[in-house]
Amino acid sequence: MEDEAEIYDGVRAQFPLSFGKQSKPQTSLEAIHSTTRRSSTTPATATATTNKTDELPSLSSSSKDWLSSLRNPNSNSSTNEDEADLIGPPRPPPDDEDEDVGPIVGPPRPSAAQLESIDEGEEEEEMVGPPRPPPGMSFGDSEDEEEEIENQFRIPLSNEIVLKGHTKVVSALAVDPSGSRVLSGSYDYTVRMYDFQGMNSRLASFRQLEPSEGHQVRNLSWSPTADRFLCVTGSAQAKIYDRDGLTLGEFVKGDMYIRDLKNTKGHITGLTCGEWHPKAKETILTSSEDGSLRIWDVNDFKSQKQVIKPKLARPGRVPVTTCTWDCEGKCIAGGIGDGSIQIWNLKPGWGSRPDIHVEKSHSDDITGLKFSSDGRILLSRSFDGSLKVWDLRQIKQPLKVFEDLPNHYAQTNIAFSPDEQLFLTGTSVERESTTGGLLCFYDRARLELVSRVGISPTCSVVQCAWHPKLNQIFATAGDKSQGGTHLLYDPTISERGALVCVARAPRKKSIDDFEAKPMIHNPHALPLFRDQPSRKRQREKELKDPMKSHKPELPVTGPGFGGRVGTSAGSLLTQYLLKQGGMIKETWMDEDPREAILKYADAAAKDPKFIAPAYAQTQPEPVFAKSDSDDEEKEK
C-alpha cells in the first residue's frame, strides 16, 4: 500500500494543481439579469377604476421588495382556485374529466348551440366570438397603454443596479461621452470614479477623491475629449483633474475686498455650478454666489477670460444659482437668485448685457437649465416645485408648466432622451408624503406626463442623465445618511455599461495570493501559545554579541589604498620602513603650537596682506604674554 501511495504521489506531482477539478457551471446572462429586474406596474384589478394619472406607478416599495416578489412567487396561485385572480365570468365545467383545470382567466367559452348557429349562418346578427364585458369593467387597458408608451419611446426600465459608496446624498453626476467611466459627487465631500470596463458585479469604485476639504461637491463635467473633468465644490476655486483622478490645476481665488467683480481675478465666494464647453476643450464656465459668471481658459489658472455680471433690478450682489451652455457653445444661460433667467449670445464685442431677460420666471431659486439641441427649447427647474418649458422665439410666457414636483436640493437638474422626444427630472421626498423619489418622463411634442418611475422610497432623486451610446438612465439619490447612483437599463436595447459589469463575476482567489495575518498580542497566555520574544529583547541580545555589535569601518572619502586615505600601493612599504628606521621624523608632534604660529609674526609684519592693512592705523600694538616656561624658570 505504501508503494502504491508513493507511486500515486509521484505521478500526481507531474500534473498542475487544477487537474481533475470540476469547474462550476457558469450562470447564464438571463439568470444574472433576472436578479436585477424591476417589478412590473400595479395589477390590473387595482388600476381598473383609476384615471390615467393614477395608473402611473408611484412605486413606494424598495428594490428588495421587488426582487423578493420575483424570486419567491406564490406557488399555490396556479392550483388554488380561491386565491386565483378571477377576471370575467367563470367557464362551464369541461366535458372531458381528464382535462386539467387551470386558473380561470378570461371570458366563458361559447356554447355548442352558438357554435352550430355560427357554422350554419342562420342569423347574421347573432353574437360571434366571446361576449362583451359588462359596462364599467376593464381588462388591463391601462397596462396596455403603458406598454404602448414604453414601446413607442423604448425607455430602458426593466433592470436596475445601484453604484453605492457615498454616505450622503449624491449631488453631482457625470458620464463621459464614450460611456466607460462615471463620476459621482456627494455632500460627504468626496468624488468617486467608476469604470465599467474594470468593474465586476461588486460595483465598487476604483478611486475616491476629496477635492476641497469640508466643501460639498456641487457639479462635475467631462471635457469633450474625456481626458479631463471639472469639479465644482462649495469653495471659490474649481479644480481640473485628468482622466485617472490626478490634479492638473486649481483656479485662482479673487480678492474679496475689491467691490467691482470685474476687477477680481476669480470668484470670491462659493461656486454653485460649472460646465465644460461642449465643443472647445480649453474653455469652461462657472457660476458663483458672488453674483457673477466667468469663462476660464484651462491653460491659465491665474485669471479668467471673461466676467459676466447679470442684469439686476437693484444694485447689489445676487447669487447665480446655475449656468449652462447650449449644444453648440454659442450661447450661455444663467439662473439668477431673483428668479430671472438671463441668456447671453457669444459674439464679437459682447458684454454683460443679456440678450434675453425673463423676469420672475420662477418664484424661487432656479436649480437647473437645459437647452435642446436645435436651440429652440429651454427647460428650467426650480425650488418652487415646478418645471417650465420655454420657447426661445417667444420667451415672455412658458409653453407649459408642470407642477407638483417637489425639489429640496440646489443641484436638481433636467435631461433629454437621446432623440429628445422625452425629457426627465427627479423629485424629492417630502416629510408627510407616501411617495418616494421619482423620475418623471414628459413628452416634448405633446407636453404631457408619460411615465413615472420609482427610484427609492426614502431617498430624493437629484441628478439624472440618459446616455445616448449606452441607452441607459442614470439617477442619483440619497438623504442625510446614504447615497447612491441608480442605473436603469434593458438587456434587449441597452449596450455595454451595466451589462458588462453585471455579467462579469468577481475575481477568484489564486493559490499565489498572500494576505498578511493581523498580529494579536497575548502576553498572559500559556507557554504553548505565548508569542515570540519581542524586538526589544532581541536587540539587547544582539548588542551582547561581539560579531553583530561590531561597528563597521567608515567609508573611504579620499584617494587611498587598503581602506586608508593618503596612501598608495607603491609607497606603503617604503614609508613604513623609513618611519621604523628613524629616517622620517614627524616633528609637529613635539612642537608648541604657540611658538609655531609666532615664528611667522615677523614675516606678517613686514608684508601685511588682506585684513592687516585695513586696520593698520587704528589697531593697537599687540602685546604677547610670555611663555609659562620662562616664568617657571625664574621662580626656581
Q: What is the pLDDT of residue 434?
A: 82
Residues 6+ apart with CB under 8 A from 365: 321, 335, 337, 339, 382, 383, 410
Q: How far apart are CA 170 and CA 216, in angstroms?
A: 10
Task: Check residue 56 and give its pLDDT.
Answer: 40
User: Mean pLDDT of residues grouped by 10 in the chain (636 residues)?
Assistant: 59 57 63 77 35 40 46 45 41 45 56 53 47 49 54 80 93 94 95 91 91 94 95 95 94 90 91 94 94 93 91 87 93 93 88 89 94 94 94 91 93 94 94 87 92 91 94 93 92 88 73 69 75 76 86 67 57 64 66 82 77 76 68 58
Burial class (CB in 10 A: 0-12, 13-18, 19+), 400: middle
Q: Is 317 exposed, middle or buried (0-12, 13-18, 19+ CB in 10 A)?
A: middle
Cα–Cα distance for residue pair 380/361, rounded to 1 Å: 9
Rg of the chain (C-alpha set): 42
**What is the per-residue DSSP string for 557-586?**
-SSEETTEET--TTTHHHHHHHHHHTSS--
Q: How far apart are CA 175 and CA 466, in angstroms?
A: 9
Please, which residues have CB within 8 angstroms of residue 386's CB and are 6 or more apart in sequence?
Answer: 362, 401, 402, 403, 405
Neighbour count for residue 418 (Cβ, 10 Å): 13
**DSSP class per residue in 125-187:** SS--SSPPPPTT--SSHHHHHHHHHHHHHT---SEEEEEEEESS-EEEEEE-TTSSEEEEEET
Please give the Cα distance from 517 to 287 (Å, whole number): 51
* Assigned C-alpha cell, 622: 599687540
pLDDT in the model for residue 242: 94
pTM of the model: 0.63
Q: Quick check: 465 and 423 in contact, CB under 8 A?
A: no
Residue 500: predicted pLDDT: 86
Residue with cell 360571434: 128
Closest CA relative to residue 472, chosen from 438, 437, 497, 439: 497
C-alpha–C-alpha distance, residues 435 and 600, integer Å? 104
SS3 state of residue 68:
helix
Instruction: Give the three cell numbers for residue 404.
Output: 407638483
Which three-class secondary structure string do you get for 602-624? HHHHHCCCCCHHHHCCCCCCCCC
- Domains belonging to the chain, first-starting first, are 156-503 (2.130.10.10)
Q: What does the chain come to in residues?
A: 636
Residue 636 identity (one-letter amino acid): K
Query: Reading across the β-sheet that carries 414-416, which strands appear in turn?
Result: 414-416, 422-426, 437-443, 448-456
pLDDT for position 558: 61
- Residue 515 has a pLDDT of 67
Neighbours of 183 (CB within 10 A): 25
Helix, coil or strand: residue 539: helix
Q: What is the pLDDT of residue 591?
A: 78
Contact between 150 and 451 (Cβ < 8 Å): yes
Is the CA virtual torsion 347, 348, 352, 357 positive or negative? negative
Q: Express each pLDDT in 263-275 by its tens digit.
A: 899 999 999 999 9
How far, in Å, are 53, 150, 439, 452, 589 from residue 448 at the CA level?
A: 11, 15, 14, 12, 109
Q: Which three cell numbers stand for residue 314?
A: 437693484
∠ CA 631-632-636 to the nearest 5 degrees? Answer: 115
Q: Of 448, 436, 536, 423, nearest to 486 (Cα)?
A: 436
Which amino acid, residue 523?
P
